[in-house]
Amino acid sequence: MPITSLSSLLLLAPVFALAISFHEYAHAWMADRLGDPGPRLAGRLTLNPRAHLDFLGTVMLLLLGIGFARPVMVNASRFRDPVRDMMRVALAGPVANLLLAAAAAMLIRLGEGLYPRFAFDVPLVYRFLYVAVRLNVALALFNLLPIPPLDGSRILRAFVSWQTRDLLNRLEPYGFFLLLLVGYMGWLGALVFRPTAILTRLLVGA
């Protein structure tokens, strides 16, 4: 769902800022809770979007319709169980986005339940909430892709051999180009956008 108009950009920008802020805050909160104060000391334990926006991730949002934030730097050696706890830190971001999507969907359903013509009489509010559901679901699914440095690769590390972990580490510097390749090949449709449409319909009930 690439941005094709100024109105789409104006609607998507605040939703994206909110989504990535909660996503990165969740990473920082979980890391801090598990014993690494680094994200808190670096100013990442905040919902301020300015602390989390990433230039390349924002460019991908404009080009491909999905982007990412500046990663929270975590020191796994501070954790009691580095592999398991890194997986928990990685999961926190997508879970935060799914919770936001569920909250926005609940507001849509509540609005329609109390006032059946909600979607038609308050179109801007409805569109904002609908985009919030769709973007947060997309952001969660996108980050669960097992491509470094996305969260999916951190989660995958907990279930594979050390050789595979080493391969993921060596691929990480090329992660942005791998993501561009995935977008260029059209695989985001099957991996992210179509599942997002299905989950959005289930949540909103449309």
Positions annotated as catalytic residues are 24
Cis amide leading into 37 (omega within 30): no
Buried b (16+ CB within 10 A) or exposed e, 169-182: eeeeeebbeebeeb
* Cα–Cα dist 14/101, whole Å: 14
Are 78 and 36 in contact by the 8 Å Cβ rule? The answer is yes
Burial of 100 (0-12, 13-18, 19+ CB in 10 A): buried
